[in-house]
């Protein structure tokens, strides 16, 4: 889990984290396109009804921006109700097509166009202006940047030092490949219904910590469309955090678990309430997902690692019982070995804890 710490005007590193990513869809659709090159359109439709409709091209993307992309919703969200007043008495409706918001206007948008043409410092006064730009320029990617003190499209009128980022949502980035070590079903950018459980749990835990410990309530979780899930933390307190505060927030949520070279990992006892709460929330899912569904204890590497984490007093006994089960399971071709090892561990743990 990472937090997007890009909060300065020189960096464009938020590209990977914040993009509304059409590239992966394009890659998939282009591969469909390759397959379809050997068939004419009629054959393709006959072979897989509807498939030909998915082919990527700029005309379809333009139609998507024109008819489907929620430009007005983006405007409503990213304006945070900071609308321009029509006069001193009346505030315009947020849904008026031509309503303007300086907060929205000061946000940097970056478009990546066809052939990787990268356009920075874009900004828009209204939802309609935003939509018109999308329809006319047809970006393959859109990045949301920071909100600046002046509108990014006017940045050349100011000298570099006086064009400064003021606010940006805190963005948590959960990558699927972080779970490659323990998921048995997929790896890399691939994702299925089984391993989808991992980012969902991470999102639930982060949401709980932000609510309980920081009184933060407005979090938008979105699937990037590629290999990750992003949590946009939108409360004004979060948007105005500087880099040090963002780092401290991530530090607070981090638990250094070490790696394969770090044999002994010990937790303080009693557990810090912050860790105890996370443990209580995650434990039922650990058993259901990691042990039962992903069946990690059927994998020798994970058997060894699990044993390494056990207290010395109980480790030898568990190891002996496990070795017996593993040798019997090998001769019987038993596919329940991982679950049996877990049952033995639970049994031994209860005996040890009762002493």
Q: Which of 6, 17, 18, 108 is catalytic?
A: 108
165 or 199: CB nearest Zn ion: 199
Q: Is 17 a catalytic residue?
A: no
108 or 175: CB nearest Zn ion: 175
Q: Is 116 a catalytic residue?
A: no
φ/ψ (deg, to 5) at 266: -120, 140
Residues in contact with Zn ion by the rule CB under 5 A: 185-186, 192, 194-195
- Structure tokens belonging to residue 46: 């006959």
CB 103 within 8 A of CB 78: yes
Q: Which of 129, 143, 167, 175 is catalytic?
A: 175
197 or 307: CB nearest Zn ion: 197
CB of 14 to Zn ion, least distance (A): 27
CB of 291 to Zn ion, least distance (A): 16
148-154 long-range Cβ contacts below 8 angstroms, 24+ apart: 148/9, 148/106, 148/107, 148/108, 149/106, 150/106, 151/105, 151/106, 151/123, 152/106, 152/107, 152/108, 152/109, 152/120, 152/121, 152/122, 152/123, 153/121, 153/122, 153/123
70 or 188: CB nearest Zn ion: 188
Rounded Cα gap, residues 47 and 295, in angstroms: 38
CB of 183 to Zn ion, least distance (A): 6
φ/ψ (deg, to 5) at 171: -120, 115
CA 162 remoteness from chain centre: 33
CB of 197 to Zn ion, least distance (A): 9
Residues with Cβ within 8 Å of 177's Cβ and at least 6 positions away in sequence, in order, are: 187, 188, 189, 227
**For every residue of 317-345, which 3-state class applies, written as one string?**
HHHHHHHHHHHHHHHHCCCCHHHHHHHHH
CB of 230 to Zn ion, least distance (A): 19
CB of 340 to Zn ion, least distance (A): 24
State how far the alpha carbon of 142 is from the alpha carbons of 8, 23, 118, 270, in Å: 18, 10, 10, 47
61 or 176: CB nearest Zn ion: 176
Rounded Cα gap, residues 16 and 86, in angstroms: 38
CB of 194 to Zn ion, least distance (A): 5
Q: Is 34 a catalytic residue?
A: no
CB 141 within 8 A of CB 112: yes
Rounded Cα gap, residues 247 and 251, in angstroms: 6
Q: Which residues pair with 85 in a beta bridge?
A: 91
The helix/strand count (H/E) of the chain reads as 14, 9
186 or 201: CB nearest Zn ion: 186
91 or 185: CB nearest Zn ion: 185
Residue positions annotated with a catalytic role: 108, 173, 175
């Amino acid at each position: 889990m990472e937090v997007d710490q890009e909060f300065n005007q020189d960096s464009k590193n938020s590209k990977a984290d914040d993009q509304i990513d059409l590239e992966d869809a394009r890659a998939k659709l282009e591969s469909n396109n390759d397959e379809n090159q050997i068939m004419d359109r009629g054959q393709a439709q006959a072979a897989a009804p509807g498939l030909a409709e998915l082919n990527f091209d700029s005309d379809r993307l333009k139609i998507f921006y024109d008819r489907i992309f929620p430009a007005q919703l983006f405007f409503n969200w990213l304006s945070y109700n900071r609308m321009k007043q029509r006069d001193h008495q009346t505030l315009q409706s947020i849904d008026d097509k031509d309503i303007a918001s300086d907060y929205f206007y000061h946000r940097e948008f970056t478009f990546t166009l066809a052939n990787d043409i990268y356009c920075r410092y874009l900004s828009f006064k209204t939802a309609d202006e935003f939509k018109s730009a999308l329809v006319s320029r047809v970006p393959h990617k859109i990045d949301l940047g920071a909100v600046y003190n002046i509108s990014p499209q006017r940045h050349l009128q100011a000298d570099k030092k006086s064009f400064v980022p003021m606010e940006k949502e805190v963005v948590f980035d959960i990558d699927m490949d972080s779970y490659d070590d323990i998921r048995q079903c997929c790896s890399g950018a691939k994702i299925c219904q089984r391993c989808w459980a991992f980012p969902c749990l991470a999102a639930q835990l982060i949401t709980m910590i932000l609510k309980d410990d920081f009184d933060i309530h407005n979090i938008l979780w979105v699937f990037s469309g590629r290999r990750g899930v992003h949590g946009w933390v939108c409360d004004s307190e979060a948007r105005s955090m500087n880099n040090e505060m963002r780092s401290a927030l991530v530090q607070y949520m981090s638990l250094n678990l070490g790696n394969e070279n770090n044999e002994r990992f010990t937790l303080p006892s009693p557990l810090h309430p912050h860790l105890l709460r996370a443990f209580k929330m995650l434990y039922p899912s650990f058993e259901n997902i990691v042990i039962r569904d992903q069946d990690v204890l059927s994998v020798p590497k994970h058997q060894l690692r699990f044993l390494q984490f056990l207290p010395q007093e109980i480790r030898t006994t568990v190891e002996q019982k496990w070795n017996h089960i593993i040798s019997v399971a090998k001769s019987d071709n038993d596919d329940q070995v991982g679950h049996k090892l877990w049952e033995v561990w639970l049994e031994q743990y209860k005996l040890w804890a009762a002493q």
